[in-house]
Structure 1
Amino acid sequence: MSVQERKERERAAREHLIVATARELAEQQGWDAVTTRRLAERIEYSQPVLYSHFRGKREIIGAVALQGATEMAAALRAATAAADSPHTRVTTLARAYLDYAEHHPAVYDAMFQLDGGLAFAHQDTPEPLKDAFAALLETLAAVAGDGVHPGLFTETFWAALHGLATLTRAGRLPPAEAGQRVELLVSRLAIT
């Protein structure tokens, strides 16, 4: 292994450590607790080392968001892979989405609530974000209905899921009826 390859591997490992530590700290104490000073202390590197990887917290949030998008896409695909009907596939997709949002609140915030400097629905949208949307579209296109653009339907269904995730987490919707909300959403929007 060349010196250059070793340095690149070490740099990638440091970057991974920064993102993992930021994510862990955010999940434990919220994003307000994530500062470059605290991250530097936790990973035992100086703040200038952090700044050699990321220009600041915004880029770290963006890195966590991209990681989350990759995980969410995989979770959605895994959840829907064994479903045997369009209705079951859409219901499973909705539940998997809401489960991800519930179990990874800081990552979900990085993806959709905080400014990570990422462009959505643009030509320069990063691939992990496009893939997360594609994971939704793969299931939802089949139930959009005649004459309905699958992408527009997916955006609308996604917006409904995001609203349910956000309002439930904020305590505005009682979690006990989450399953009924999913069934209502699927039965009213998805043409199966």
Structure 2
Amino acid sequence: MSVQERKQRERAERERLIVATARELAEQQGWDAVTTRRLAERIEYSQPVLYSHFRGKREIIGAVALDGATEMAAVLRAATAATAAGPRGRVAALARAYLDFAAANPAVYDAMFQLDGGLAFAQESTPEQLKDAFAALLETLGEVAGEGVHPGVFTEVFWAALHGQATLTRAGRLPAELIESRVELLVDRLAVV
């Protein structure tokens, strides 16, 4: 291995450490607790080293969001692949997996959809990880969009409904014990099977 390859590997490892530490700190104490100073202390590097990887907290949030999108896509695909209940069952499994992911990873979910990580959505410049997360929704939802309904638009509407449930439930504005009832209603009313 050349010196340059080793340095690139070490740089990538430091970057992963910064992102993982930011995520851990945000999950434990919220995003307000994530500062470059605290991150530098936790990873035992100086702030200039941290700034050599990221220009600031916004880029770190973006990196956490991209990792989260990759994880979410994998979770959604695994959930839909694990059910043999036909299209309706796959849609219900997808909805439950989405809501479970949002509940289990609140700081990551916030990085993905609530905070400004400097990421473009629904544009040519949208990072591949975000496009893939949307594709993971579209793969299942597109098959139940219904005659004459654009699958992408249907997926956006269904996703918006899931996002609303995730954020409102977490905020205590929707009772958590009714999650399953809301999933069933959403699938029954929107999924054309």
- TM-score bracket, normalised by the shorter chain, equals over 0.9
Give matches, 1:18-167, under 5 Å.
18-84=18-84, 85-167=86-168
Q: Secondary structure at the match of 1:68?
A: helix
Q: Paired residue for 1:187? A: 188
Task: Specify every segment of 5 or more residues in structure 1 that has no aligned partner in the other structure, as ranges.
Answer: none
Query: Residue deviations 1:114-170, cap 9 Å, x none?
Result: 000000000000000000000000000000000000000000000000000000000
Q: Does 1:172 align with 2:173?
A: yes
Q: Percent identity?
A: 82
C-alpha separation in 1, matches of 2:178 and 2:118: 35
- TM-score of the superposed pair, with normalisation by structure 2: 0.99
C-alpha separation in 2, matches of 1:89 and 1:17: 35
C-alpha separation in 2, matches of 1:74 and 1:160: 20
C-alpha separation in 1, matches of 2:167 and 2:79: 21
Query: Residue deviations 1:162-183, cap 9 Å, x none?
Result: 0000000000000001000000
Q: Secondary structure at the match of 2:120?
A: coil
Q: Paired residue for 1:6? A: 6
One-letter code of the match for 1:122?
Q
C-alpha separation in 2, matches of 1:83 and 1:42: 41
C-alpha separation in 2, matches of 1:191 and 1:134: 19
Query: Residue deviations 1:40-73, cap 9 Å, x none?
Result: 0000000000000000000000000000000000
Which aligned segments of 4 or more residues in structure 1 are displaced greater than 2 angstroms? none
C-alpha separation in 2, matches of 1:34 and 1:64: 12
One-letter code of the match for 1:68?
G
C-alpha separation in 1, matches of 2:175 and 2:182: 10
Aligned-CA RMSD value: 0.4
Q: Secondary structure at the match of 2:116?
A: coil
C-alpha separation in 1, matches of 2:156 and 2:17: 33
Shift of 1:82: 2.5
Q: Secondary structure at the match of 1:146?
A: coil
C-alpha separation in 2, matches of 1:132 and 1:82: 18
Shift of 1:83: 2.0
One-letter code of the match for 2:6?
R
One-letter code of the match for 1:79?
A
One-letter code of the match for 1:26?
A
One-letter code of the match for 1:7?
K
